Structure 1
Amino acid sequence: MRTADIRARFLDFFAARGHAVVPSAPLPTPDPTLLFVNAGMVPFKPYLTGERTAPWPRATSVQKCVRTLDIDEVGRTTRHGSFFQMNGNFSFGDYFKEEAIAFAWELSTTPLDRGGYGLDPERIWVTVHHSDTEARGIWREVAGLPQRRIVTRGDEDNFWSMGVPGPCGPCSELYYDRGPAFGRDGGPEADEDRYMEFWNLVFMQYERGEGPGKSGYPILGELPRRNIDTGMGLERMATLLQGRDNLYEIDEMRPVLDRAAELAAVRYGADPAADVRLRVVADHVRTALMLLADGTTPGNEGRGYVLRRILRRAVRSMRQLGYHDPALPGLLPVARDCMAPGYPEVAGTFARIADQAYGEEDAFRATLKQGTTVLDTAIGKTKAEGQRVLPGAQVFLLHDTYGFPIDLTLEMAAEQGVDVDREGFTTLMNAQRERARADARARKSGGTADTSALRTVLDAHGPTDWRAWDTLTTEATVLALLSPTGPVLASREGEIVTVVLDRTPFYAESGGQDSDAGRITGTSAEAEVLDVQRPLPGLVIHQVRLTAGELAIGDGVHAAVDPEWRLGARQAHSGTHVLHAALREVLGPTALQSGSYNRPGYLRLDFPWRGALSTTARSEVEEAANRALRHDCAVGVRWMTLPEARQLGALALFDETYGEKVRVVEIGGAWSRELCGGTHVTHASQIGTIALTSEGSIGAGRRRLEAAVGLEGFGYLARERDLVTGIAEQLGAPRTELPERIVGLLDRLKAADRENARLTQQATTARAAALADSPEWIDGVGLVTATTEGGGNEARALATAVRDRLPAGTPGAVGVGTASGALAVALNQAAVRRGLSASVLVKGLLNGRGGGSPELAQGGGLAPGRTDTVLADLHSLIPRH
């Protein structure tokens, strides 16, 4: 049975039993504690925790997930994959243990021809929490399982919570005995390779308090509404039903593995080390495909860094298999064909996906080439200095700056007989990881607002009555005030506090649009709104500065958005949609927005693209955008279901979470049609103008457009006009002739520079000849010292010129210093054969600073007036025989 059929059969089973079929959420998640959805319950978390009321009593989904904590285990075990799919059924205060267990047993054991998975009931084992006698009894009653195949386990294995105060409860896991060929007899506790877990049933029935880890926290009592959250591993079920040894050999991955083996000319199953690399390739290529399909682009931080690492691991694994040509063009289309039956969008957007993936591989191949050069230089320097250990700082530089993998460094260093300071590298890596953890902790803390206090406000008063789409002003009541140290009853003039209102007209920052500015006024208070955020689903908070009076909980206030600010924000946000549509019109559908930010007068738009846009392309994009403004394209808003929006061709921003109904913003009908929660103009002409101000790279395969909008756009164009007019006046030329005049000036400057360089070279050559004629002889070594104007380049040029004119068969050394504090030392081959080293001499003159090769080295940092004294010291460093 194909994996896509297993998925469809699961959804059909639960749909027939009253469950709403919910589409998979995109892999990127707005949850500040996560980069990607990593479990099937993540999209349902607000319903399971009670933050929001679920729109259905029961639901089912097949959720795409990515986990990278175990990435080093990928390929080494039968159970770890970085991308996986979780089949789930959920109950929100509806059914509980008995129905959940009955559903799992029925679907697992019903024969294939009757809509089930046809697993042998005699080979299914289950685990239950030691305290859950109820679940144990249900398993015996519903499934008729003997006591031997119902295994009791503790908190670590069979009790679930999110690690923080909130819902928790026991769980029950289903295992399938794959037979003695896979391991020892005795159930899951004996061997989890033989007994493969395929389904976990979580019974959320308690509320837990504060406490560490997976146990030791207090149970505060029963939940008022008990929930069910289950997860069946789709890949694991496919492994069982397709009779495969491991998840890398199922139909969604094995073709990629086989293609990788074909390209690398190796046979799967012949070499354990090669098998691990082939499985890594199969897993990572599929993971990269799904991340790219959901809008993630390679980058240097966050989600982009995870994707970049996965792509590079796949490419590196192919190189370790002996395949050094571009690998992804031969692998990614195979992964597309494997996944398209379940996810048609990977085929529909493959041109964009492939462009980004292949660009990243090209960049990594260049990185490997550059890193190899740097590594070879570092190894050569280490050997020249008589050392045999490459410093940890150099290895970390290769890893952190050039993206050069540590295992490749180890391998190449060993080939050249050099060890690596692993301890020093690990210390630097751990320091970097700690910085990353600190950043993650800061992100998880939710900023300065007290999240627990805000949750209390949300529980007590419900969601904020948000009116930003409908009005700029409203009357409201102060529900809570939070200072940086916690909740307060009142705030006074000059203080900055977080204010929670029962209703608000202010737009909270989201979807790339900056938050509104404005004022909140009461009978005795005035406050300037500095920022507006939505830290919890449904709750809007305002950071304000009290400019007069006192604001207290319970006060009635007037909340008013600055109308000029909102107009500018609407222009910029609509302008972003227009620019996005214009970009796709000119460059094609693969130029899909991957990030944006807009505020009054300004917008930026990020998109995947390889190479800079030409001047012509930029002009065409700007013209297409402003043509929509001149045609005064209508701007409309429609509400519909997410499937309807997708059918209509609306573009979605993958960092957003969408409910049952989505808001579709159209500009010029189908020309620009996007899912969006921002504020917009009603006609395109209200944007005024869009003036592109810059276009540049923000990483491999990613570009950024910036533009001025509205009055700021007109102001930018006026400044450009004034600049051109000023240059024309300075040159005394008509504006139409400026390009030719400027090209002529540049040509003359280049000619003057070439002439200056020629004269300088002549002077250097003449002086070098004179200096080389009269060296000072020290025990058979001809020594020349001199000073020159300029910096290190001039010192190096004169030193090498003199050295090249010294007698070839006689040892010669040249030292040249500058008034700016630079120093260069050059030796001929005869001096090197005698045992001298320019690098050693420079370090001796500069107290360890500087360096280079035995023939040429340089350094700097000499104090003013010290050059002659340091050069005089060169005499004492020439060894006597």
Structure 2
Amino acid sequence: MKTAEIKRRYLAHFEANGHAVVPSAPLPAISDPNLLFVNAGMVQFVPYFLGQQTPPYPRAVSVQKCIRTPDIDEVGKTSRHGTFFQMNGNFSFGDYFKAGAIPLAWDLVTRSVAEGGFGLDPERVWATVYLDDDEAAEIWRSVGMPAERIVRRGKKDNFWSMGIPGPAGPCSELYYDRGPDYGREGGPEVDEDRYLEFWNLVFMQYEIADVTSKEDFRIVGELPKKNIDTGMGLERMASILQGVDNLYEIDEVRPILARAAELTGKRYGAHSGHVAAQSHPDDVRLRVIADHVRTALMLIGDGVTPSNEGRGYVLRRIMRRAIRAVRLLGWQERALPELLPVARDCMAPSYPELATEFDRIAQYAYAEEDAFLATLRAGTTILDTAIAETKSAGKPALSGDKAFQLHDTYGFPIDLTLEIAAEQGLAVDADGFRRLMADQRARAKADARARKTGHTDLSAYRSVLDAGGPVEFTGYTELNRESRVRAVLSGGDQVGAAVEGDTVELVLDTTPFYAEGGGQQPDQGLITVGGGQVEVFDVQQPVPGLIVHRARVVRGEVRAGENGYAEIDVTRRRAISRSHTATHLVHQTMRNFLGESATQAGSLNAPGRLRFDFNTPTGVAPSVAPRGAAGQRGAP
């Protein structure tokens, strides 16, 4: 069964059972400060699980594009790890719980292919449950799972969270017995290569905090409602239904691997067994290439571009690992022009935009490979010099400092440093290199912790929103209006009043003040309430539907419940509007000179000035700037 057909059947099954079909969110986790990328199907639904927003449907189903990189070094070595994957998920927001989720899963898994199911042999399916989850175990028995194939496991295996503060709960996982060719008998606790996990049913009922590991966290309390969050690995199910050994051999990945093998003259699988742990190093590298090229395609397709920080750095690292693996297998020419079109053809049936956007995607990918090949050439020259100096000094090993400099400054892979040094009869101070890398990671983690905000406490804002409903924005049709002060907040709490000198947040029933968003600066102005007056210096929307005015009381007293008069700074608004218009003109001019691949990456529209951020896969020629400026002066 093709991967696209598995996806179609999954969505159809749950849609027929009252679930709303929700499109995949983009891979960059824009709305969650804790994540670079969406790493699970439930990420876009977190506000519903936490009770921060009211879900527009009681049940949902999606196939979510995901990226996970913590296990990147395991890619190719196991049958389970991939950086990009697709997660089939069905969700209940306080609607059904265990008694609904388990029968729905069992029905789809064991129903015949002719009747729209996946047709797995029920005698080869196992389930795990959390240690004390008697309810889930009993439901599995009621649908036909014998007690001897229901295994109880602890927090490490059967308590799920995103690894960050937020929703969590015990879970129940489904495994498929692939037979004795894949390992020892005895169930998932004995061998997870033979018994392949393919579906995780999470009974989402707790909110957790102080997360330090998968097993070390604090349960804050019960969620507002008991929810269901399930995740079926699409690639894992495809490997089962297509009868292949691992996710690298399914129909959406194998053609990339085959093309890489053809380029490098390798014969995939010639020296490996069924179990991934028995794989020849060449096969591991071919899998890395296939996985990483597909991942790069999907990331660039969703707007990520190579850079030295954040999401762009992850993409750059993935691409360079793929390019490096190809070279280690003997191919010394440009590889991505040979491999990326194959990945496109594999994935476009499910994601047609990859075909229509391929020229843009290819420009970024090919430019990155060219830059990395130049890096390799420069790094090799510096390494040759360092090797000569080490030999002339009579030392047996290249210093860890030099290896780290090559890696950190030039992006030169440590494994390449080790290989070239060994060819010259030298060792490398790998311990010194690892120590410097560990120091760098520790600094990066400390910085990340300092910037990490987690799921901010928005309870005061939600309380105001729940009590009075969404704030009506009228600023497109008027610049001032009368309105009641619904709430006055200070320090995250509602207060009855504020006096001269206080800095507070005001919520009105209706407002002409524009809240910051889309790169456009917020309005400023005055709100007069009785004998008091506040000067608004910022306007935000901390939760959808609630416009909050951040202001200083400049005269008298302001009380909640009183009527007021709101008026924006018209001169500032018009200046921002001119900057906003100019941003669109700049964007169009850039596309005129640089082509459709010049995409907007951000902007700032402020009075009298603007900033326009854009991505382009190649350097901007010096002649473009004056020509672009001339184009702007000639614009209507």
Task: Specify if TM > 0.5.
Answer: yes
Structure 1 window deviating more from structure 2 (437-446 vs 242-251): it is: 437-446
Displacement of 1:457 after TM fit?
Answer: 3.0
Confirm or deny: 8 A CA contact 1:596 1:604 kept in the other structure.
yes
**For 1:304 and 1:597, how far apart are their aligned partners in 2?**
21
Q: Which residue of 2 aligns with 1:380?
A: 388
Confirm or deny: 8 A CA contact 1:500 1:540 kept in the other structure.
yes
Measured against aligned partners, the alpha-carbon deviations of 1:488-540 in whole angstroms (never above 9, x if no partner) come to 77766556556666655443333222333334454465544444444444454
Match runs of 1:500-511 below 5 Å: 504-511=511-518
Residue 36 in structure 1 maps to residue 37 in structure 2: yes
- Picking from 588, 599, 606, the partner of 1:592 is 599
Change (3 A) 1:508 1:613: farther
**For 1:185 and 1:59, how far apart are their aligned partners in 2?**
37
Unaligned runs of 5+ in 1: 631-881
Match runs of 1:468-507 below 5 Å: 468-474=475-481, 475-477=483-485, 479-483=487-491, 504-507=511-514
**For 1:389 and 1:431, how far apart are their aligned partners in 2?**
21
Change (3 A) 1:442 1:241: same
Residue 465 in structure 1 maps to residue 471 in structure 2: yes
TM-score normalised to structure 1 length? 0.66
The structure showing larger relative contact order (alpha-carbon pairs under 8 Å, at least 6 residues apart) is 2
* Larger-gyration structure (1/2): 1
Q: Which residue of 2 aligns with 1:412?
A: 420
Measured against aligned partners, the alpha-carbon deviations of 1:407-443 in whole angstroms (never above 9, x if no partner) come to 2222222222333333333333233223322332233
- Read off the aligned partner of 1:195 and give its amino acid letter: Y
- Read off the aligned partner of 1:37 and give its amino acid letter: V
- Read off the aligned partner of 1:512 and give its amino acid letter: G
Residue 605 in structure 1 maps to residue 613 in structure 2: yes
SS of residue in 1 equivalent to 2:251: coil
Confirm or deny: 8 A CA contact 2:520 2:580 kept in the other structure.
yes
Residue 126 in structure 1 maps to residue 120 in structure 2: no
- Read off the aligned partner of 2:388 and give its amino acid letter: G
Change (3 A) 1:458 1:134: same
**For 2:200 and 2:509, how far apart are their aligned partners in 1?**
41
Confirm or deny: 8 A CA contact 2:460 2:493 kept in the other structure.
no
Residue 191 in structure 1 maps to residue 191 in structure 2: yes
Change (3 A) 1:622 1:111: farther
SS of residue in 2 equivalent to 1:414: helix
- Read off the aligned partner of 1:346 and give its amino acid letter: L
Match runs of 1:172-571 below 5 Å: 172-206=172-206, 213=213, 223-270=223-270, 272-445=280-453, 451-452=456-457, 454-462=458-466, 465=471, 467=473, 468-474=475-481, 475-477=483-485, 479-483=487-491, 504-523=511-530, 526-548=533-555, 558-571=565-578
**For 2:345 and 2:41, how far apart are their aligned partners in 1?**
24
**For 1:506 and 1:303, how far apart are their aligned partners in 2?**
34
Change (3 A) 1:277 1:211: closer
Confirm or deny: 8 A CA contact 1:18 1:58 kept in the other structure.
yes
Structure 1 window deviating more from structure 2 (265-274 vs 196-205): it is: 265-274
Structure 1 window deviating more from structure 2 (29-38 vs 199-208): it is: 199-208
**For 2:523 and 2:452, how far apart are their aligned partners in 1?**
24
Change (3 A) 1:130 1:330: same
Unaligned runs of 5+ in 2: 272-279
**For 1:375 and 1:289, how far apart are their aligned partners in 2?**
32
Q: Which residue of 2 aligns with 1:146?
A: 146
- Read off the aligned partner of 2:456 and give its amino acid letter: T
- Picking from 567, 571, 577, the partner of 2:584 is 577
Structure 1 window deviating more from structure 2 (224-233 vs 431-440): it is: 431-440
Displacement of 1:233 after TM fit?
Answer: 0.4
Residue 6 in structure 1 maps to residue 6 in structure 2: yes
Measured against aligned partners, the alpha-carbon deviations of 1:458-488 in whole angstroms (never above 9, x if no partner) come to 14533651515454445353635345x9887
- Read off the aligned partner of 1:83 and give its amino acid letter: F
Displacement of 1:202 after TM fit?
Answer: 1.4
Structure 1 window deviating more from structure 2 (502-511 vs 8-17): it is: 502-511
Confirm or deny: 8 A CA contact 2:533 2:554 kept in the other structure.
yes
- Read off the aligned partner of 1:458 and give its amino acid letter: R
**For 2:350 and 2:13, how far apart are their aligned partners in 1?**
17
Displacement of 1:553 after TM fit?
Answer: 6.4
Displacement of 1:609 after TM fit?
Answer: 3.3
Measured against aligned partners, the alpha-carbon deviations of 1:369-399 in whole angstroms (never above 9, x if no partner) come to 1111222222333334443443333322222
**For 1:85 and 1:26, how far apart are their aligned partners in 2?**
12
CA RMSD of aligned residues (A): 2.9
**For 1:6 and 1:480, how far apart are their aligned partners in 2?**
53
Aligned-residue identity in percent: 59
SS of residue in 1 equivalent to 2:184: coil
SS of residue in 1 equivalent to 2:600: coil
SS of residue in 1 equivalent to 2:132: coil
Structure 1 window deviating more from structure 2 (69-78 vs 412-421): it is: 412-421
- Read off the aligned partner of 1:515 and give its amino acid letter: P
**For 2:218 and 2:420, how far apart are their aligned partners in 1?**
54
- Read off the aligned partner of 1:19 and give its amino acid letter: H
Change (3 A) 1:311 1:491: farther
**For 1:602 and 1:375, how far apart are their aligned partners in 2?**
44
Measured against aligned partners, the alpha-carbon deviations of 1:341-390 in whole angstroms (never above 9, x if no partner) come to 11001000000000000000001111111111222222333334443443
Match runs of 1:699-718 below 5 Å: none
Confirm or deny: 8 A CA contact 1:497 1:545 kept in the other structure.
yes
Displacement of 1:64 after TM fit?
Answer: 0.2
Change (3 A) 1:471 1:277: farther
**For 1:428 and 1:466, how far apart are their aligned partners in 2?**
55
Change (3 A) 1:166 1:395: closer
Change (3 A) 1:412 1:15: same
SS of residue in 2 equivalent to 1:331: helix
Confirm or deny: 8 A CA contact 2:238 2:247 kept in the other structure.
yes
- Read off the aligned partner of 1:465 and give its amino acid letter: V
**For 1:211 and 1:320, how far apart are their aligned partners in 2?**
39
**For 2:182 and 2:408, how far apart are their aligned partners in 1?**
41
